[in-house]
Amino acid sequence: MKHLITLIPGDGIGPEISQAMMEVIKATELPITWEITPAGLSTLESEGSLIPQSVFDSIERNRIALKGPLATPIGKGHRSLNVLLRKKYDLYACVRPVRSIANISPKFPGVDLVIFRENTEDLYMGLEEIISEDEAHSIKVITRSASTRIAKAAYEYAVKENRKKVTIVTKANIMKASDGLFLESCRAVAALYPTIITDEILIDNMCLQLVVDPTRTDIILTENLYGDILSDLCAGLVGGLGFVPGANLGQDFALFESVHGTAPDIAGLGIANPTAMILTSAMMIRHLGYEKEASWIEEAIQTVYSDPNNYTKDLQGPLNTVEITSEIIKAYLALKGVS
């Protein structure tokens, strides 16, 4: 079966890391082709829109997209492009695997956790009102239906991937109505999966436990705001956002994305680190059913970074974008050859 994937290269270093990712996927020899649909600052200048209609048309045809980093102009009335896409296609589950990579994560070498973040409501709905010049309100929305479906996604993942524990993260001791509803909904789902250990923890304590010993955490199930914060915190434990993939999943569409910034200061210099984008492509092909090839990509990255001589410029190493990509491909082909 052939797969046509919408590719949004993105802004800044996006086109460079997208090219690196495509080289790795080419080496897998999987039946994947790309429909490249530019978006972001470049199309704002050329077409007057951050996301042209052609991007939406492509996503709706292909139903799976892979996206590089997009820049949202600040203070010009533009909404976050990432939030826009998540809302438009009801991509309710933000899934962020966080795993230690060889020598990149010396303080916490055994991290292997996954964050399931509800993606559609909470304070990120942007429901705000100005009461007076001295008072503003943000309205937090939590519903049983949205809470239940993200919980089901987390527990189904736990069963499929043979994970042992789901940790529900809230601040239900303070926000008894909203976070209380989220917790209640997750408990109801947890009861349907008695083989999975479930524990509950408050968001502040979760942060503490993660920086003390993140290896004790397996799956985190949480709301939108807490998930956003914990995703970046966990990325910092394993080397930063440049080493963490991400996916936004819905009933009908899937958007995989490299969640780090556009790094405009190094764009075009050929020194961008493509690791997060390559790991994101591994997530994507696993979603398509290619478990073996996805695992080989991930293992190849572990192999490459086990040698400090393979570090990229951002790690004070000697390799540029093309060179690190070549090393990953060589390691991948070696794994494929001995399987």
In the chain, the amino acid numbered 183 is L
- Kind and range of the H or E element at 136? strand 135-138
From-to residues of CATH 3.40.718.10 in the chain: 1-111+238-339
**What's the pLDDT score for residue 77?**
53
From-to residues of CATH 3.30.420 in the chain: 121-220
Among 89, 92, 124, 290, the active-site one is: 124
**What's the pLDDT score for residue 105?**
79
Q: Is 171 a known active-site residue?
A: yes
Helix (H, G, I), strand (E, B) or coil at 6: strand
CA contacts within 13 A on the Cβ side of 131? 6
Q: Is 252 a known active-site residue?
A: no
Instruction: pLDDT tens for the chain, 339 residues: list them.
Output: 899 999 999 999 999 999 999 999 999 999 999 999 999 888 888 888 889 999 999 999 999 999 999 887 765 555 677 888 988 999 999 999 999 998 887 789 999 999 999 999 999 888 899 999 999 999 999 999 999 999 999 999 999 999 999 999 999 999 999 999 999 999 999 999 999 999 999 999 999 999 999 999 999 999 999 999 999 999 999 999 999 999 999 999 999 998 899 999 999 999 999 999 999 999 999 999 999 999 999 999 999 999 989 999 888 899 999 999 999 999 999 998 865
Among 11, 122, 218, 228, the active-site one is: 228
∠ CA 148-149-153, rounded to 5°: 120
- The pTM score is 0.94
Cβ neighbour number for residue 139 with a 10 Å cutoff = 11
* Of 322, 254, 268, 323, nearest in space to 93 by CA: 254
Tokens of 314: 């951002």
∠ CA 316-243-253, rounded to 5°: 150
Q: Report how far residue 283's alpha carbon sits from residue 245's, in angstroms, rounded to the nearest whole number.
A: 7
Among 26, 107, 176, 204, the active-site one is: 204
Helix (H, G, I), strand (E, B) or coil at 101: coil
**What's the pLDDT score for residue 81?**
78
Q: Is 124 a known active-site residue?
A: yes
Among 171, 218, 226, 311, the active-site one is: 171
301 and 101 in contact (C-beta within 8 Å)? Answer: yes
**What's the pLDDT score for residue 49?**
87
Q: At what angle do helices 203-212 and 224-237 cross, to 10 degrees?
A: 10
**What's the pLDDT score for residue 193?**
98
**What's the pLDDT score for residue 74?**
67
**What's the pLDDT score for residue 123?**
92
**What's the pLDDT score for residue 78?**
56
Q: Is 134 a known active-site residue?
A: no
DSSP-assigned states of every residue in 205-263: HHHHHHHH-GGG--EEEE-HHHHHHHHHHHHHHTT-GGG---EEE-SS-EEEE--S---
**What's the pLDDT score for residue 46?**
85
**What's the pLDDT score for residue 198?**
98
* Of 147, 298, 162, 179, nearest in space to 219 by CA: 162
Name which CATH class applies to 121-220: alpha beta
Name which CATH class applies to 1-111+238-339: alpha beta
